[in-house]
Amino acid sequence: QVQLVESGGGSVQAGGSLRLSCAASGYTVRSNCMGWFRQAPGKEREAVATIYARGGSTYYADSVKGRFTISQDNAKNTVYLQMNSLKPEDTAMYYCAAGPKFDLGGRWYERTFYNYWGQGTQVTVSS
């Protein structure tokens, strides 16, 4: 049974930092594409960042490029999202997602690309 458990969310002032963690069980992080999505109230869930299998390529939404970094710890089977220079518009529920081994069609930003989802962790950024 695949389980993804996010942690690390919280409340922070604009300009601050948070690091989200996604601990996976029943799924090997290093062998598959892993992503982070977010959903703000009244908005659709959107892709934030993805890391390809074996610590390969990473992709980011334009809105977070240069501020967020996705990484993985194979020994802990955990994916991280380091978020710096946070802005109020980053406020959302953040979800970890586990995808297939390969992304042949450049679909990293599509929700349907991912097979499993965590329950989410809330991030609130105040101005």
28-49 average pLDDT score: 96
- Number of other CB atoms surrounding residue 70 within 10 Å: 21
pLDDT confidence of residue 104: 82
Q: Please say whether the beta carbons of 86 and 38 come within 8 A.
A: no
Q: Which residue has the higher pLDDT, 34 or 105?
A: 34
Residue 54: is its pLDDT beyond 90? no
pLDDT at 102: 86
- The residue-averaged pLDDT of 107-112 equals 94
Answer yes or no: are the C-beta atoms of 35 and 108 closer than 8 Å. Answer: yes
- In this prediction, residue 106 has a pLDDT band, given cuts at 50, 70 and 90, of confident
Strands (E), the chain: 3-7, 10-13, 18-25, 34-39, 46-51, 58-60, 68-73, 78-83, 92-98, 116-117, 121-126
